[in-house]
Structure formats: C-alpha cells, structure tokens
Structure 1
C-alpha cells in the first residue's frame, strides 16, 4: 500500500469511526442505565438520517447558506432523536423494566421492526442522500491527496465534541451525576431520592439524539435505504462488545480501531470488509471476555 492509499484509508476509517462512535455511545448509555441492548436504536439512526435529508431537500430550493444546511442536519436529528428516544422509554420499555432481559431485548427488536415499516411508509424504498452538503463544504489537500472537508474535519470534530460534551455532562451536572449513580447502583440511588424513571427518560432521549445525529451526519456520504439501520446497529454491537459494556472512552477507542481495520480491509482485502469488525470483536473477546476496558468488579451477594 502506497502513501496515498494509506492516507485515504486512514481518513475514511476515522470518518466511519466517528459515525460508529455516535451510535455506539447511545447504546452504551442505555446499556449502563437499563442493562439491556436496545435493538431499536438502529431505527433512530435511520430515521435521523431520513428526516435530516427531508429537511435539507425542503430547504435546498431556497439556496440557503451552507451553515444553515449543516444546522438543519443537526437540529432535525436532535429533535427527532430526542422525541423518539423518550417515546420508546415512556411508552414501551418502562413497562418491561423489571422483566427478564431476554424479553426486554425481544421488545426492542419488535419496536425496531415497527419503525422499519414506518420508514418504508414515509420515505419508501428509493435511496435518499444529501450529498450536496458535503460538496458545498469544499475540499482540502493533505500530502498531495484531496479530501472532502466534510469527511476530513466535520464528522470527526462532531464525534469528539459529543464525547467531550457527554463526559462533561456526566461529571459536572446534576443530571449527569444522577445517571452515573443509577449506572453504579440503581437501588441505592433510588433510596437516596433519585427519580429513576426521570433519569431513564433523559437517558433514552440523550441516546436517541446521539443515534439520530449519527444518521444525519451519514446521509451526505451514504445513500439511505431500508435495512441500513440493522447494518449499523449490528456493527455498533461489535463496538460495545469490544470495548466492554458501559465504557464510554472504551467505545471511542474501539470505534477507531474497528473503523481503521474496516477501512484498511477495503483498500487491501475488500472481501474482508464486512467481517472485519466481527473478527476484531472475536479476537478481543477470546483474550478479554468482558471487553478491552472492563475492570473487575466486586460481586454483590
């Protein structure tokens, strides 16, 4: 592999890792608070992308500035993701809070199937894309290789801002500290007066925002079609399994590793592109069954 191909692979990998991290971050939050894998999170990614593309398509004939189109991506995804996330928690998962984890998983899978049909009814099966936004942001040259500014700068920057913002929220805000308390010990936190139901709704809304934001950032670079949410949610499972459940910084590192490995496979061994995230996950779990960043915890009896 020459230098140009290597640079292309690295930039593509980091861009993909940024999107994967945003989706995995929402999954990690829900996993920490509820102890359940939310399969429906993949639908929030897809609906975030579809809704952002629809808003941009509506604004495009009016020829607004590029910054307004980018803002439309963010606003639409945040509003739609927060609303759907809160609705899923209050209208569905709250009623299965103390049930068997397998039942909770099946319930979220059922919600995923329903939301997939909703996507087909609203947007149909025609591919949806907002590529003009990426082209409007122009290109930059790095060591003789030309990259799109959207892919080179915007996507990684948003992912890092989301990571820093979430860390700040969890460490320095009352709501964040309540989320951390629920993650560490739900019963003790509830006994101390923390409203677990309100924290659950907040967590789902926040996770929904992150998932939908990942979809909105993807739609200028990827054509959205039915079934894309399933593909992304499965890959996100590989990220959180590799990092360890509930590990925010670990999810960032795992997303970068998987993104780079997948990108390198695209440029060197294309036949391994699809399986590369899962090969990495299996290799990690064979060595560390609880994930790269999970620490030993005292068992409560």
Structure 2
C-alpha cells in the first residue's frame, strides 16, 4: 500500500469511526444508566437520517447557505431523536425499569420493529440521501490527496465536540453529577433526593438525540435504505462490547480502532470489510470478557 492509499484509508476510517462513535455514544450513555441494551437505538439513527434528508430536500432548492443547512441538519436530528428517546422512556421503559434485563431487551427489540415499519410507511423503500450538502462544502487537498471538507472536517469535528460536551456535562455540571450518582447507585441517589426518573428521561432523550445526529451526519455521505438501522446498531454493539459497558472514552477509542481496521480492510482485504469489527470484538472479549476499558466494580453490601 502506497502513502496516498494509506492516507485515504486513515481519513475514511476516521470518518466512519466518527459516525459509529455518535451512535455508540448514545447507546453507551443509556447502557450506563439503565444497564440495558437499547436495540431501538438503531431506529433513532435511521429516522434521524431520513428526517434530516427530508428537511434538506425542502431547503436545498431555496439556495440556503451552508451554515443554515448544517444547523437544520443537526437541529432536525436533535429534535426528532430527543423526542423519540423521551417517548420511549416515558411511555415504555419506565414501566419495565425493575424487570428482568432479558425482558427489557425484548421490549426494545419490539419497539425497533415498530419503528422500522413506521419508517417504511413514511419514506417507503426509495433510497434517500442528502449528498448535495457535502457537495456544496467543496473539497480540500491534504498531502496531495483531495478530500471532501464535509468528510474530513465536519463529521469528525462534530463527533469530537459531542464527546467533549458530554464529558463537560458529566464532570462539571450539577445535572451531570446527579446522573453519575444514578449510574453508580440508583437507590442511594434516590434516597439522597435525586429524581432518578427525571435523570432517566433526560438520558434517553440525550441518547436518542446523539443517535439521530449520527444518522443525520451519515445521510450526506451514504444512501439510506430500509435495513440501515440494523446494520449500524449491530456495529455500535461491537463498539460498546469492545470498550466495555458505560465507557465513554473507551467507546471513542474503540470506534477509532474499528473504523481504521475496517478502512484498511477495504483497501487491502475487501472480503474482510464487513466482519472486521466483529473479529476485533471477539479478539478483545477472548482476552478481556468485560471489555478493554472496563473497571472492577465494587461489591455492594
């Protein structure tokens, strides 16, 4: 592999890792608070992308500025994903809060199937994308290779900003400290006066918004078709399994590793492209069953 192909693989890998991290970030946050794998998270990604593409189709013919288009893209995803996450928590998951984790998983899978069919009813099976937005931003040359500005700067920049923003929220705000208390021990946090139900609602809304933003960022670069939700949510499961449940920084590192491995496979061993994330996940779990960045949990008395 020559230098230019290696550079292409690295940039493609980081771009894919950014999208994967946005989805895994919301899923990791929900897992950390509720301890349940939210299968319906894939639908947040798909509906966020479809909704953003619909809004782009309304705005692009009016020659709106790139800044307006990006704000509309992100704003649509945040509103749609946040609303879906809040509805899922308030309407369904709160009723199964103390039930068996397997039952919770089955409930989220049922919601996923419902949202998948709702998505088909609204947008049909016609492929959807918003590639014109990425085209408007133009290209930039890096070390002799031309890249789209959207892929090189916008997608990784928003993913990094989301990571930093969430870390600041958790570490430096009162709301974040309350959320960490609920994650550490829900019963004790409730006894101290923290509204755990409110924290749960906020978590699902924030997680849904992050997943939908991942879909909105994807739709200018990829074509959305029925079934895209399942593909991405399975890949995000590989990220959180590799990193360890509830590990936000670990999810970032695992996303980068998986994204780079997948991109290198595309340019060297294309037949391994699809399975590369899962090969990495299996290799990690054989050595560390709880994930690369998991920590020992104190025994509760």
TM-score, shorter chain, exceeding 0.5? yes
* Match of residue 258 from structure 1: 258
* Aligned position for 2:285: 285
Counting only pairs closer than 5 Å after superposition, residues 116-265 of structure 1 correspond to structure 2 as 116-265=116-265
SS at match of 2:43: helix
Q: Give the drift of 1:299.
A: 2.0
1:300 Cα deviation (Å)?
Answer: 2.1
Q: What does residue 56 of structure 2 align with?
A: 56
User: Following the alignment from structure 2 to structure 1, what is the Cα–Cα distance between the partners of residues 181 and 300?
Assistant: 16
TM-fit CA distance, 1:298: 2.0
Instruction: Tell me the equivalent position of 2:76.
Output: 76
Q: Aligned equivalents of 1:28 and 1:191: distance in 2?
A: 25
The 2-side partners of 1:41 and 1:269 are apart by 30
Note the alpha carbon deviations across 1:17-73, whole angstroms, 9 max, x for none.
000001001011110110100000000000000000000101111111111111110
Q: Deviations over 1:214-256 (max 9, x none)?
A: 0000000010001101000000000000000000000000000
Q: Structure 1 segments of 4 or more deviating over 6 A?
A: none
2-side partners of 1:161 and 1:212: how far apart?
A: 16
Q: SS at the partner of 2:147?
A: strand
Aligned with 1:225: secondary structure?
Answer: coil
When normalised by structure 2's length, the TM-score is 0.99
Secondary structure class of the residue paired with 2:283: helix
Equivalent residues, number: 301
Q: What is the DSSP-based 3-state SS (H/G/I as helix, E as strand, rest coil) of the residue aligned with 2:175? A: helix
Alignment-derived partner of residue 66 in structure 1: 66
CA distance in structure 1 between the partners assigned to 2:55 and 2:78 by the alignment: 13
Return the offset for 1:296: 1.2
2:298 corresponds to which residue?
A: 298
Aligned to 2:43: 43
- Partner residue, 2:85: 85
Alpha-carbon distance in structure 1 between the residues aligned to 2:138 and 2:4: 20
Q: Deviations over 1:123-148 (max 9, x none)?
A: 00000000010011111111110000
* TM-score normalised by structure 1 residue count: 0.99
CA distance in 1, matches of 2:187, 2:90: 20
User: Any stretches of 5+ residues in structure 2 without a counterpart?
Assistant: none
